[in-house]
Chain A
């Protein structure tokens, strides 16, 4: 293993990790407010990718098509809450979980029926397609843009959650629904906002994922979705910063396995599950989670 390859892997790990992070944040936000693992969250990656292909078909301009795809995915996130979760606000947690699994199957199969199972190529705009050389390193610009975009979106999210009234209402609601209502706050709006933000971030992750692995099919969200979920648990579910940290760590961990133990390279995808089991066994609240969630 030469230094160059190692560095190349490192950059790659940070980049993939940033995509896990974007998706993990949505898991953690919805969990924080509804105590629900939103199983359909990973599928929003796929929804965003199709929406972006569709948008490119119409506008042939990624500056219009991508933001539009993000907004559409955000709206689908809200729709998901309205149809699959909102009717069950007072139902037992397990009903909600089953509804989430159902919603995930529904999205996947709906897209299978509409778009078929044949993977579609993803139109990568030139802006993201070039490769830069740093010494002996050859790095696709996307690999560099992904973590930068992630950090920028994350800072924007922190601003909303900690500085705006609606963000403060979100944090209040994550502890106490009834008292939040007593402030004259429309709780359903706040929950919708949570889904909107989480889904938009997942969409940004999904579009970058599709540019990185430009094969779009109805089931493409499952694996990154599961890994992002592990990242959220690793970081401490319910904690936004934790999700970011967990995402980067998981991305780095996977790459390091490949780099340091090449003979284990083919088990790379299993690492997430090993981490999940270890975290649940030894530190269920994750790296940054609070001692008591409920």
Chain B
């Protein structure tokens, strides 16, 4: 579904991505793990055209999206829940969700809205509240829910559990699995490598801009190197 080849990104003189490759197959949960500064967020931003590539190609569902503007990439069926949530603080919960569905027709919008509310009932309770006054966990749910509003085929989640209480983390991970069961493909970035690898079909380990290891989630969980570096053993 998504295929990334030989992706290079520079920030000025810093070579942040040194030729990474990724493949995300339809219906899967794929995770990208790595230490702080490994280049995970950079990879996501490059995929959706927020960063200029220095080299590489990105193919989504058979069409080359490498140099398309961001809004056109999104319209092909990709949604992003960005690192740090980035809900629209000055808009209400409902308006945030509306913007998530910017390119949907009204009938589809209603359907999507009901689905998102069933995943996150808390959002329904707080639909008229200004997003800036939501708690951190609620904002995370909103960022996730907003991404789902566009009926995406592929959802890119950048650290959806960052800064959340353990119980809320569980809720978010359950939602990720549920969304995947309903047919959306997921590319998940996580600091919480244990949780991510547990639900992922496949995983990539990123280190200073390079993929150093990849394999099925269960296999990476057992890997000596991974256990040392990311699971604190």
Contact = CB atoms under 8 A, between A and B. Distances in A.
Given A183-B74, A185-B71, A187-B71, A176 B102 contact: no
Interface string B96-125: 001110110000000000000000000000
Contact of A168 (B69, B95, B146): B95
A168 B150 CA distance: 16
A126 B102 CA distance: 46
Contact of A183 (B50, B89, B90, B102): B102
A181 interface: yes
Given A165-B98, A168-B95, A168-B98, A182 B74 contact: yes
Interface in A222-267: none
Interface in B42-71: 48, 50, 69-71
B88 A181 contact: no
Contacts of A181: 50, 69-71, 74
Given A171-B90, A175-B88, A181-B50, A165 B71 contact: no
A290 to B, nearest CB: 9
A169 interface: yes
Interface size, A (range): 10 to 19
Interface size, B (range): 20 to 34
B98 to A, nearest CB: 6
A171 B91 contact: yes
Contact of A175 (B71, B89, B98, B103): B89
Contacts, number: 60
Interface in A193-240: none
A181 B100 CA distance: 10
A103 to B, nearest CB: 25
Contacts of A183: 74, 99-100, 102, 146, 150
A174 B103 CA distance: 20
Interface of A: 165, 168-169, 171-172, 174-176, 178-187
Given A176-B86, A176-B88, A184-B75, 10 more contacts: A165-B99, A165-B102, A168-B91, A175-B90, A178-B82, A179-B82, A182-B74, A182-B80, A183-B150, A187-B71
Interface of B: 48, 50, 69-71, 74-75, 79-80, 82, 86, 88-91, 95, 98-100, 102-103, 146, 150
A-B pairs with lowest CB-CB distance, top 10 = A184-B74, A181-B70, A179-B86, A172-B88, A186-B71, A183-B99, A182-B80, A184-B75, A184-B103, A183-B102
